[in-house]
Amino acid sequence: MRLRNIPGADDAILNSEYCIKNPEEQKGHWQDCFDKVQPLHIEIGMGKGRFIMDMAALHPDINYIGIERYSSVLLRALQKVEQNPLPNIKFICMDAADVAGVFAKDEVDRIYLNFSDPWPKDRHAKRRLTSRQFFARYDQILKKDGHLEFKTDNQDLFTFSLEEVPEAGWKLDASTRDLHHDPVLNEGNVMTEYEEKFSSKGKSNLQTDRIEIEKTPDTNGFTPLIPGILFILQLQCNVFPEQLSSVLSERPRSGYRFRISHGYLPLSCSHQHKSFGSCCLHNVHV
């Protein structure tokens, strides 16, 4: 889909106090852009900025940076924040592939990926923001115990993302294929414009999925989780695929979310609960 060019968008970005020009010059010094030194969270592909601005308003004790490639889209975010100023948010107009050149090692505490371009053709797989190539970039900027959260309504992209997590050496913390009906992972969920639009209309075919990941190297050969399965998984210790296969058996109905960790988080599960065609794991000790 071609984006409509908005006359004056580039000039508005250039003159806005909220948009950082020459972001590579801030590498290692992003806290200097804010009034307070606080944890730094970034959203890659923020669109019109609804999600990250709501997060900044809800969490004044966290600094936020929104990254958007297209100036005509970023302009909408700038217009919103200038009407409702926030001291803990900044924007960058840049390609996501350049994040490692803009942020220093361990400079970012959390990364958000919301409804990213699925790049459906196989030859474009490396362009997906959850590809192993992008995980390698995130690994360079995310703190050791940092987290990445990902939401999508594209089942193929979600399955691909689950498979890329272990290949990139990260660990999955939690996941669901039916976010809006999941009482655990939907708690505190802040919606994007797209997500809110379809949810408010009662669109049952909006399959919102979420994954949450924590950064820690994986050296135990953890293999991809079984595609097509709905689960909530908390990892706190070394987990092996044969221990999961016996309990993950049902196909999902809709919706996905995951949390991944790049570290050794125990897999804990005290009971198995099945509902809405899902399989949920909580407090399982291996």
What is the phi/psi pair of residue 164, to 5°? -80, -25
Strands 63-68 and 142-152: unpaired
Q: Quote the CA–CA distance of 251 and 273 in Å, as a whole number.
A: 14
Report in angstroms the alpha-carbon separations of 110 from 30, 32, 187, 232.
14, 18, 18, 20
Contact 5, 72 (CB under 8 A): yes
From the list 10, 117, 139, 145, the catalytic residue is 117
- Using a 10 angstrom Cβ sphere, with 0-12 exposed, 13-18 middle and 19 or more buried, the burial of residue 242 is exposed
The 10 Å CB-count burial string (b at 16+, else e) for 29-65 is ebeeebeeebebbbbbbbbbbbbbbebbeeeeebbbb
106 catalytically annotated = no
CA distance 273 to 208: 20
Q: Which residues are catalytic?
A: 117
